Amino acid sequence: MSKDRFSANNEIASPVIEVSNFDFYYGSVKSLNSVNMKIKPKTTTAFIGPSGCGKSTLLRNFNRMNDLIEGTKNEGDILLHGESIYRKDLNVTELRSKVGMVFQKSNPFPMTIFENIAYAPLKKGIKKRSSDLTDLVEESLRGAALWDEVKDKLHKSALGLSGGQQQRLCIARVLAMKPEIILMDEPCSALDPISTMKIENLIAEIEKDYTIVIVTHNMQQAARVSSYTAFMYVGELIEYNSTTDLFSNPVMKQTEDYITGRFG
């Protein structure tokens, strides 16, 4: 075999995130097994694989959301700009405002649309009722292609929006934080095709400014939105390559079986 199944790791020269020999345990169950990968800045990377393969677990380690679950532990390291996110003096809340996250199920807070977007900026010290804040809210909503739909009801409850709008609101909420990286954990799995398309277009739109890592069950989606794709299976990174290569010319048999729909 001349081709490397991790050729993406060789191609990416200055990664924003670098995972090295990373193991992760839920209690005594090992769910990630010595993962090594690099994430390219200002690009979209997709994680695919069958349920329970560890792709969400890996994603949720990038902003240490797994800290919230009791009884987890990890070995190896994850580096953000070359610095460990597991070092002792790291401020986790700061990490999370640099690495934003969009969840599988949209979770706007039961507040107004404006308050939802303003939630993170207000904590960073932007003054309430300042024009900076209103500008930022508008910019974020425009960034998430939601402005035109909600500009007349900014002060109505966010829970009145449709599922797709709510998910874009969650993206806008993350954008308002001005993060570097946006993690998306199956963001379209609860949405209809039109809403899904809107979110995919949105990803293509913001990709030039943000590093996006997306977990998806939908291989067409991965093919559509990402430049690099990682295939994972039972806690291991099986293959990591540019999306075109991985889908057209998979190196590993498991990858081929999965993308051709033989299992998963």
Partner 1 sequence: MKLEKTYTYLLAFSMLCIILMVLGIFTIVAMNGLPYFWLKNVAKVEMTDGKVYYGEIAGVNPKAENGSETKLKVGNRKIYGQDFLRIKDSEIKSVSYPKEIIMLERDEWGNAYGIISDIGGKEFDNIHSSVMEDKKEIMSLEKGRLLSINEEISKLNHRITKKSETGLEEKLEKLKTESAVIETDLNSKREQALIKTFSLVLADGQIDELKYYDIVKKYQPNDVSLAGKIWISVKGFFEFIFADPRESNTEGGIFPAIFGTVILVILMSIFVFPLGVIAAVFLSEYAKEGFLVKLIRNTIYNLAGVPSIVYGVFGLGFFVYAMGGSIDRIFFSDYLPSPTFGTGGIIWGALTLAVLTLPVVIVASLEGLKSVPHMYREGSYSLGSTKWEVIKDVVIPNAMPGMLTGLILAISRAAGEVAPLMMTGVVKSAVALPFDSSFPFIHLDRKFMHLGFHIYDVGFQSPNIEAARGVVFNTTLILLIIVFALNLTAILIRNRIRNKLSRSGV
**Residue 71 is a binding residue for partner 1 (CB under 8 A):** no
CB 211 within 8 A of CB 39: yes
The DSSP output letter for 67 is G
Of 25-33, 81-89, 168-176, 236-244, the segment contacting partner 1 by CB under 8 A is 168-176
**Candidate list 54, 100, 143, 235; residue touching partner 1; CB under 8 A:** 100
What is the smallest separation between the CB atom of 251 and partner 1, expressed in angstroms? 34
Q: Kind of pairing, strands 17-26 and 29-39?
A: antiparallel
Q: Which is nearer to partner 1, 101 or 237 (CB)?
A: 101
Residue in 32, 78, 120, 215 binding partner 1, rule: CB under 8 A: 120
Give burial (CB, 10 Å; 0-12/13-18/19+) of 194. Answer: exposed
How far is the C-alpha of 176 from the C-alpha of 120, rounded, in Å?
A: 7
Binding mask 125-164 for partner 1 (x = CB under 8 A): -------------------------------xx-xx----
The angle formed by the CA atoms of residues 71, 240 and 174, to the nearest 5 degrees, is 60
Report H helices in 64-146.
92-98, 113-123, 131-143
Is residue 21 involved in binding partner 1 (CB under 8 A)? Answer: no
By the rule CB under 8 A, 96 interacts with partner 1: yes
Contact with partner 1 (CB under 8 A): which of 177, 199, 223, 246?
177
**Closest CB to partner 1 among residues 187, 250:** 187
Give the residue, chosen from 71, 110, 125, 193, that forms a contact with partner 1 under the rule CB under 8 A.
110
Does residue 223 touch partner 1 according to CB under 8 A? no
Q: Are 188 and 195 in contact (CB under 8 A)?
A: yes
Q: Please compute Rg for the chain using Cα positions.
A: 19
Spatial contact of 139 and 221, defined as CB atoms under 8 Å apart: no
Query: Which of positions 182-221 make contact with partner 1 (CB under 8 A)?
Result: none
Q: For 221, phi and psi rounded to 5 degrees?
A: -65, -45
For partner 1, the closer CB: 91 or 131 = 91
Binding residues for partner 1, rule: CB under 8 A, are 63, 65, 68, 93-94, 96-97, 100-101, 103, 105, 107-110, 119-120, 123-124, 156-157, 159-160, 170, 173-174, 177
